[in-house]
Chain A
Amino acid sequence: MKIEEYLNDLKKEYEKTEATLHLKAFGWDELSRQIDPTGTWVSFLPYW
């Protein structure tokens, strides 16, 4: 088995890594407040 094939296996593991639930749920809300502190846009539901 070539080293590239082992890296492909590691890639599969890498691709399973997703952002934390906190970021998925609140990340954009938090970021949008920093981008536009005076904005009135409010999300009542998780962005995802």
Chain B
Amino acid sequence: MLHFDFSCVLCIEWLLIMPDDYGEYVKSAIAGDKEAFGELYRIFLNRIYRFVYYLVGDEFSAEDITQNTFLRAWRGLASFSMDSGTFQSYLYTIARNLVIDSQRKKKAYPLNGLEEVIESQEDPVTEVWKGEISEKIRQALADLDTEDRQIIILRYFEEMQFGEISEVVGSNPGAIRVKVHRLMGLLKQKLEGKI
């Protein structure tokens, strides 16, 4: 009996469309091609969703913000130029701004979102998270404010360069480099129990 493995379909599609290939879709989408934008949606959906989810901490808000991110991206495409930044940073900037808007509306924003997200994972990995130090770093990340947490996420989880992070958060690469260094020092101190 043929078993339909959903995750394999995703993997195959990801292998067929590598990130470097989406430039043509961006050009077509800027020209008004909705199907090309649909391809961009498919390429970036998981990435934008997980970025938002790790900042807001609940599925409902993450879904809503993710959809709004793509809607705004489409509506703002006329003003987007590939010369002034990457499409990726364009999307993350919109997502980030929507997260900030969402926080302002909610007033009381859960700063422990990251901890809740990780604890809610259905597929808990391994012994890595069972160790005391792992618990500490998880807590240390959860304790960071959203602005700082997103920089760590963009740098270490999304593997963005300082320049691209600066495009997303509206700063300059030098300042981001300094901030990352400071945050890593902060996390290290927390890990060592010094603060």
Contact = CB atoms under 8 A, between A and B. Distances in A.
A19 B6 CA distance: 13
A31 B53 CA distance: 19
Given A3-B188, A7-B137, A18-B49, A12 B125 contact: yes
Interface in B50-68: 50, 53-54, 59, 62-63, 66-67
A3 B141 contact: no
Interface in B173-195: 184, 187-188, 191
Contacts of B138: 10
Interface in B27-86: 34, 37-38, 41-42, 45-46, 49-50, 53-54, 59, 62-63, 66-67, 70-71, 74
Interface residues on B, range: 35 or more
Contacts of B53: 17
Contacts of B134: 6, 9
Interface string B13-34: 1000000000000000000001
- Closest 4 pairs between A and B when the two form their complex, measured CB to CB: A19-B49, A17-B50, A7-B156, A14-B157
A28 to B, nearest CB: 5
Contacts of A22: 63
